[in-house]
Structure 1
Amino acid sequence: MLRLIQLRWLAVIGQISTIIIAKFVLHIHLPTPDMLTIIACLIAFNIGSTLRWQESVTVTNGELFFALFVDVIMLTGQLYLSGGTNNPFIFLYLLQVIISAMLLESWSTWFIIAITSVCIAGLSEFYVPVEFPYGDEGIYNLYVQGLIICFVLDAALLTFFINRISANLRAGEAQLADLRQRAAEEDHIVRMGLLASGAAHELGTPLATLSVILGDWQHMPQFTSNEELRQEIDVMQAQLFRCKNIISDILLSTGEVRGDSSAKTTLNTFLNTLAEEWGNTRPANSFVFENHIGEDIPVVFDSSLKQMIYNVLDNAAEASPAWVKLQASYEVDILTLVVTDIGPGFLPEMLTQFGKPYQSSKDRPGRGLGLFFAVNVARKLGGKVDVSNYKNKDGNVGGASVQMTLPLSAIHLKTSVNEGNKQYDV
């Protein structure tokens, strides 16, 4: 569209110059007021096209078709007022046809061809007669000179236009190739992550077996009486514990929950400790924690769940360093955690694509993975994460809200009670 606007300004300059030369140099009588009116309409249309371009850089095929259609109609009007098909500049229609073939969809190009054909046929019958001083034959003939000028104009403008369009196409192809390369790299990373996650799951069973065996060895007399063997068992246990931590970190990065890293506590203790730790170590100037949970319920919290809440709070603090709020409530076996801030809120495209990786306004590696991790962990525990923007008193976006809901059954601590010969889980 920008190239068409530039080409249209050149057409305006060319038409004004041609009218001046024809009228004052060649002394050809032309309906100048009517021709200048068409040029004024072309200028007005080009100004409107420029304003439209500045509003949005996305242009549809229909808009391009309409722009070329207007150019054809304007050219037809000028040719109608200056001799119709007797005017050597009739071949400027080829410029419109070739440009449409480059820019438009196939059906649109055929429409332009049909329109220009009808216009040429009509100009052969309907036009304002103009007396041309043809002069001598050959190169000195005015009609031949007009044909040569028309050919030079067509060739020059097409060369200019095609070079610019080709540069745009090459830039687009280079960008598309870069995006494909990035997609291939990200797909490779995802495959590596899946492989690592699968390997971590597979290693869990043999490591647990080794942990049980080493625990039995620690209590066997033949090992406890031998100081050297006991020290070696301690080293083996330390290395085994390190392997477990590595596997836990791998599963944590993919949103998996691993029971080995769970800790027994109570709901209020966990939330109060988490809020205190986060508030003391994070940059939010004002951190508000509201705990509306009255009953202190025994629960088991995994480190991944703690990291999930940290990620949401960290994102809120980055968007709103001045104020972050965490609100906890419990109702009908559902734990609800709501994090709010007073930042710019989520972009519309982020709200529609929420839960997918790399959806973030932060332009750096790892962007969007925090919320992706939170959604994944909540989903695996049977819960969900909802995001929204809330309005302030003026009706504008006043900040973002992230609500995490988890079924209490996923984290509730079960204890065994013996009654007679039967054992019950409470």
Structure 2
Amino acid sequence: MLPGWQSPRTALQWLRSFRRAALVLVGLAMGLERAADPTMSLLPGAVVLTVVLLIEIGETAWIRIRGVYTWAVEAHVVVDLMFMLGAAFALKAADHPALDMLIQFVIPWSLGLSTRRAWAAAVALILIHNGLVVFGPALVDVIDPLTARMHVRQLTRVIIFDASALTITGFVVYLRSLLDDRESRLQQALDERARDERLVALGMMAAGIAHELGTPLSSIDMLAGEALEEPEEATPVLRTLRGQVQRCREILDRVRGTTSMTVSLEVESLGVALRRWVGDWQAAGLDRGELLLDVPQELDAVGIRGDPDTWRGICWSLLDNARRAGGPIEIRASQLPDGWAQVEVDDCGPGPSLETIARAGQPFYSAWEDGGREGRGLGLFVARSFARRWGGELKFVRGPAGGGRVTLRLATIPYVGRP
């Protein structure tokens, strides 16, 4: 939308300006033909100014009562068309060239109204103008050759007016659509930039966490190794402790990997990996309910790129969210045309709100802040960022059964097995 036309209030202000200029000029032009009579020459202008003032007073009162500017803009079109029609007949100037000033209304209408209503207003304007010209007092008698010639000129004027109105409407509507599309793409670019800035900030935070935790974990690992030389009673506990420390190291290595510029070229079978990740999640005791897994065998020959540990973490995060929502969990994987695969995770919870659907995937936004449920809002954000890094996409919507549905769309390649 052009600057200054983004709101109905601003559009109404511009429409009022067009009305004042066009209608006053029409009234003055009509009055020039009555210059011989000073009283009659001022009458058209006085009538126009009075009606304009009454219309604007009525619009202001309507807006204060209803508080809706959009309706005022639409009502403006109807009122002005009716006023011009009445003024032309009342002043007996239906054949006056000043009526061509009506065409100027096409510009603000095309900018202030929707595309469909702008075309409707233009067609109404054409019909009114054609009626005024064709059935005006100057064309009552067409027997005289001079009058017949005037009739041809008036028809030519009608054709030119109609073509001009349609051309201006189409051109302005087309320009407006281009500007709207440009504004939409600009807003999308700004949103992507803001997302990238948040991702960079999170990456810097993750790098700092990895650096801060690296030293104490190294000390714990060293002490646990020395304790293994002590009495055997401590051996099982220390082995578990050391295993957990090693797990923390793997997590930190992944954090460092996401903040670096290195790209893993490892290829994993989607079908095999998905069954393994879900099985590991169940074996870890994280599944307390029913789970339905549908992974067709054809996905065993479909490969995905990226760090397998990160993909596993994403899978676990989606399963954790579904478990928190409550009810059975359904996981369905399918192969799509053109080298794509899709994984859907459905839960049977109460379903996401409109705000949750709009903000899901934003960092530090979580829908689990009520009822004792906790979340930091980073799971879906990391999942979406990693999926986009490999050409995929993650969406959060309401499922057919009313619960939540997370759809992970993945770019795939043929998988022939490990070398």
Q: Answer whether TM exceeds 0.5 for this pair.
A: no
TM-score where L is the length of structure 1: 0.37
TM-score where L is the length of structure 2: 0.37
